[in-house]
Amino acid sequence: MIHVAVIVGSYGPFAIGMILGIVTLILTIIATKKNRKTFSRKLEELTIVMNYLLL
């Protein structure tokens, strides 16, 4: 049982990375010229966090 829990638990960072990826895509889609500067910084931060999670 512990073996299965470790294997399933190791997928956690991938799931969080997937959720952050979807959020990043949504922010990219809804960005307009007015709010692009604000979203740009947030998108950079989310991308950095996703890279740390998936490496």
pLDDT in tens, 20-52: 889 889 988 988 888 888 888 888 988 888 888
32 conformational bin, left if phi > 0, alpha if psi -120 to 50, beta if neither = beta
Cα 11 from Cα 17, distance rounded (Å): 10
**pLDDT surpassing 80 at residue 11:** yes
d(CA 4, CA 20): 26
pLDDT attached to residue 4: 82
CA–CA–CA angle 50, 7, 24 (5° rounding): 15
Where does the pLDDT of residue 1 fall: very low under 50, low under 70, confident under 90, or very high at 90 and above?
low
Calpha distance 4→47 (Å, rounded): 30
Residue 2: CA atoms inside 13 Å, Cβ hemisphere, count?
0
